[in-house]
Amino acid sequence: MRRMFRMLAAAVTAAALAVGVGVPAAAAGSSDMALRKALDGVVAGGDAVGARVLVTEHGRTVRLRAGSATLGGRRPVPFEGRYRIGSVTKTFVATVLLQLVAEGKVGLDEPVRRYPPDLLPADKDAITVRMLLHHSSGLADYVSTIPKGADFVRHRFDHYDARELVRRIADRPLVFAPGTDWRYTNVNYVVAGLLIEAVTGRPWGAEVTGRVIRPLGLRATGVPGDVTRVPGPHAHGYERVSPAAGPVDITELNPTVADASGSMISSDADLDRFLTALTGGRLLPARQLAELLPRDGDPVPYGLGIFRVPNSCGVTAWGHTGEIHGYYTLALTTPDRSRRAVVSVTTAAYPLPDDSPVYAAVRKLTDAALCG
């Protein structure tokens, strides 16, 4: 998962996409032309089938799209379509845990074992709730135990139990002493989801739904559980199982493989509304919001479930990126929420290689969106 950090610190400086299919009349001017050019680059390299962006600049909204909804098809990517948001899920989960902190039900600096005592073994007693959300727990990741390539495609509808995912790494030694380093690790948020359930008595998805999705009216957002389809209009994502084989449509899968680290589904408009409400203080009291957000000057640009993303013009942005089979997502906002961008890319060759032109193109997108 070091690749996730490198991508966010560099290629995640992105946020708009544009090109020759279905560009609304509102998309005009030199900044919009820069977005179109950047979006062209996203799909031109062959690693992406389609791309879409929602950009808001001082109240003006631009929606742009490129490529197609299916590989080799002519139907454009739907502007209002839903998609798998991958690790952007983490920001939702962190929000709920920080709400529980505000309610006095969870202590950020309390050991995780205080809440579900059987979740982590005793030799990992030093791991706190804060360390989970910050990725400084030192836990090894379960991702290496998940089938890859053709094996994953064959087993993509299998159910994964969250506790079993944690058990896969429970006996592994810590990568570093808790709190002494940083490593982006998906299992941290699987544990966080189980912690929410232990404290509230309800699954993490039910808490996210009741505390965030419904209050904000996020009609296209959901926690699918074992549901394998993406509901409503959507673009398709693909995975290449081997260098010799062609891409496989991977749109349908059982998202429990990602659980609380990345299983949710949403849309551009919903992610924009969520991020605006979150950073604007609608979901968290001031104290917990300050805990959530990355601190300026911190060598690790990650707060408790959200990144600080630099760009070429020096404008700070907060947000998260997400990658899951077939989909790459990025949601960003400036601290004052005057400039925001949500990007969705459907891949032709998941997982994207580290040097994929998609990342460089998205970096240009974000610069165009946030720097104007």
42 in the same domain as 176 = no
- 342 in any annotated domain: no
pLDDT, position 246: 86
The answer on 369 and 301 residing in a single domain is: no
pLDDT on residue 30? 59
Chain segment 212-242, per-residue pLDDT in tens: 999 999 999 999 999 999 999 999 999 998 8
My answer on whether 168 and 233 are in the same domain is yes
pLDDT beyond 90 at 243: no
Region of residue 151 (phi > 0: left; psi between -120 and 50: alpha; otherwise: beta): alpha
Phi and psi for 26 in degrees, rounded to 5? -65, -20
Residue 202 lies in a domain: yes
Distances (CA, A) of 57 to 10, 51, 266, 336: 22, 20, 22, 11
Count how many Cα atoms sit within 13 Å of the Cα of residue 29 in the half-sphere of its side chain: 10
Which positions are annotated as active-site residues?
A: 87
340, part of any domain: no
For residue 201, the SS3 value is coil
Same-domain check for residues 186 and 228: yes
Q: How confident is the model at residue 50 (pLDDT cuts 50, 70, 90)?
A: very high
CA distances in angstroms from 345 to 14, 208, 310, 314, 364, listed in the order given: 12, 24, 21, 25, 14
Q: How many domains does the chain have?
A: 2
Q: Is the peptide bond before 255 cis (omega within 30 degrees of 0)?
A: no
The residue-averaged pLDDT of 90-101 equals: 98
pLDDT of residue 346: 98
Token readout for 204 is 């993490």
Q: Are residues 289 and 226 in the same domain?
A: yes
Query: Residue 17 pLDDT more than 90?
Result: no
Residue 61 located in a structural domain? no
* Residues 95 and 216 both lie in one domain: yes
| Helices 89-102, 187-200: crossing angle, 10 deg rounding | 40
**Dihedral in degrees, nearest 10, Cα atoms 220, 221, 225, 229:** 30
H-helix or E-strand spanning residue 366? helix 357-371
Which domain, by its residues, includes 247? 80-311
Domain boundary among 283, 311, 339: 311
> Are residue 244 and residue 137 in the same domain, yes or no?
yes
| Residue 96: closest CA among 327, 297, 264, 224 | 264
18 compared with 211, residue with greater pLDDT: 211
- pLDDT single digits (tens) 72-91: 999 999 999 999 999 999 99
Question: Whole-angstrom Cα distance, residue 162 to residue 171?
Answer: 16
> Which residue from 59, 63, 32, 64 is spatially nearest to 338, judged by alpha carbons?
59
Percentage of the chain exceeding pLDDT 70? 92
For 334-370, the pLDDT digits (tens) are: 999 999 999 999 999 899 988 999 998 998 888 889 9
Q: Do both 136 and 182 map to the same domain?
A: yes
| Claim to verify: residue 84 and residue 27 sit in the same structural domain | no
- pTM, full prediction: 0.93
Burial tier of 351 (Cβ tally within 10 Å: 0-12, 13-18, 19+): middle
**CATH number of domain containing 121:** 3.40.710.10
Whether 101 maps to a domain, the answer reads yes
Establish if 33 belongs to a structural domain: yes
User: Is the domain of 144 the same as that of 37?
Assistant: no
Is the predicted pLDDT of residue 11 greater than 70, yes or no?
no
Whether residue 109 is found in the same domain as residue 177: yes
Residues 298 and 234 in one domain: yes
